[in-house]
Structure 1
Amino acid sequence: MARTATELMWVDALAVVARADRLHRDFFHPASAGWEPPVDLLETAGELTLIVALPGVRAADVDLVIGGGEIAVTGIRRLPAVHGPARIHRMELPHGRFERRLALPPGAYELVRRDLLDGCLTIVLRRLT
């Protein structure tokens, strides 16, 4: 059965309202974890090395928690400081809160070193068992 012009108008209007609702929900209620930075995990005989890509993140804005067989790297990437009004042409790098949880190989570990250099956080863990 063919739809009338009024029915088609309502279908389009409802689709626009649904899209606006989804955009509003995504913008004002983002996922609690935010974005996840990419991670490399390397293992040697006695150590684990994690390299976390965190361009533009200050060391003071990063927290580590090791326990329960995993490591959690959390923090915030702030918007870059702009002096004066600016028009955004492209914004692809994620900003805001981030969290990355990674299961560790079996065993107990202690933190040996943590360095944030050239946009990468390098974490070295020593195997205790």
Structure 2
Amino acid sequence: MAQITRYEPWTFLNQLQRELERSFESMRSDMVRGGEEMPAAAEWAPAVDIKEKANQYVVHADLPGVKPDDIEITLENSILTIKGHRETEAKEEQEDYKRVERVYGGFFRRFALPDSVDADKIQANYEQGVLIITIPKKAEVQPKKITVKTA
């Protein structure tokens, strides 16, 4: 008996896009680190939103299925690095049909931060599969006006 397979034209393009993003992230990391020894290549990169507010930056990283203990956040030379690992789950197999869309393994993302951040007050929270990093800005020093006196 013939089996009907659903044609999904975007599958190949989506896979190609993920591979290109992984390659570019790796190249960017090489340039940022300036020749330092690189960690093992990431197997996937989580989606990240970065929002700038008046007094802080807020980073939201989608990390469903990642345990908080498996996430490492570092700040070195104004580079914020988020890396970790998501464990594989048992995959279901039905007859000859198999489909796995979720990516497992190591991940990392790096972001250059401006000099205006207060590195000592960065906080990270993990809520329902989303990592939220709050990066406060330094209090701006207001210029002091000096009056010119006449002699």
Q: Deviations over 1:78-127 (max 9, x none)?
A: 112x4xx8428211111000001112234233344211111110010112
Unaligned runs of 5+ in 2: 1-39, 140-151
Contact 1:52 1:121 in 2 (8 A): yes
Task: Tell me the TM-score normalised to structure 2 length.
Answer: 0.56
Corresponding residue number in structure 1 for 2:61: 52
Corresponding residue number in structure 2 for 1:65: 74
Find the aligned partners of 1:119 and 1:96 in 2 and give their Cα distance: 16
AA of the residue aligned to 1:77: R
Structure number with higher strand proportion: 1
User: How many residues are paired up?
Assistant: 96
Corresponding residue number in structure 1 for 2:4: none
Residue 36 in structure 1 maps to residue 50 in structure 2: no
Corresponding residue number in structure 2 for 1:93: 102
Find the aligned partners of 2:76 and 2:54 in 1 and give their Cα distance: 20
Aligned Cα root-mean-square deviation (Å) = 2.1
Task: Tell me the TM-score normalised to structure 1 length.
Answer: 0.65
Bigger relative contact order, structure 1 or 2 (CA pairs below 8 A, ≥6 apart):
1
